[in-house]
Amino acid sequence: MLVSNLEIVPGKRIAKHLGMVQGSTVRAKHVGRDIMAGFKNIVGGELKGYTELLQETRAEATKRMVDQAQAIGANAVLNVRYSTTSIAQGAAEILAYGTAVVLE
């Protein structure tokens, strides 16, 4: 499965557009991470736990989008975008969406 945020793929022609696919997930931090982040908040700097948490969340959203694309018979998702929303204290929703296509 090819994932890209361009609208073209070098050397390949788009045979069929299958419409939009999306994947989203909501994750929250656990308490331990938050306590560490509280300390880190005094001195500043990167919050590695949160960086990883959001990366995992984004990977999960991407995977769900790709699964959906696979289910409708696509072999590539083009023009992919990400969107992040804070929906409750400590919880974030990440959405990945794009256009499913069949490449020749």
Partner 1 sequence: MNNLILQNLDFVVFLVLLAVGYFAGRAVESSHYRSIRRRERQLSGILMFATKFPPSIQARQSTALVSGSVVISSDYFKLFVASLRKLFGGRFRVYETLLDRARREAVLRMKREALRLGGHAVFNVKFETFNVTMGARGGIAAVEVLAYGTALIEPKK
38 binds partner 1 (CB under 8 A): yes
Segment near partner 1 (CB under 8 A); pick from 19-27, 67-75, 76-84:
76-84
Please give the Cα distance from 69 to 58 (Å, whole number). 17
The Cα 60–Cα 44 span in angstroms is: 28
Q: Quick one: tokens of 103?
A: 């490449």
- Coil, strand or helix: which one is 93? strand
| Residues in 78-97 at the binding interface with partner 1, rule: CB under 8 A | 80-84, 86, 89-90, 92
- Count of C-beta atoms within a 10 Å radius of residue 96: 24
Q: Which of 24, 40, 70, 103 binds partner 1 (CB under 8 A)?
A: 40
Summarize as ranges the residues that interact with partner 1 (CB under 8 A). 2-11, 34, 37-38, 40-48, 50-51, 54-55, 58, 80-84, 86, 89-90, 92
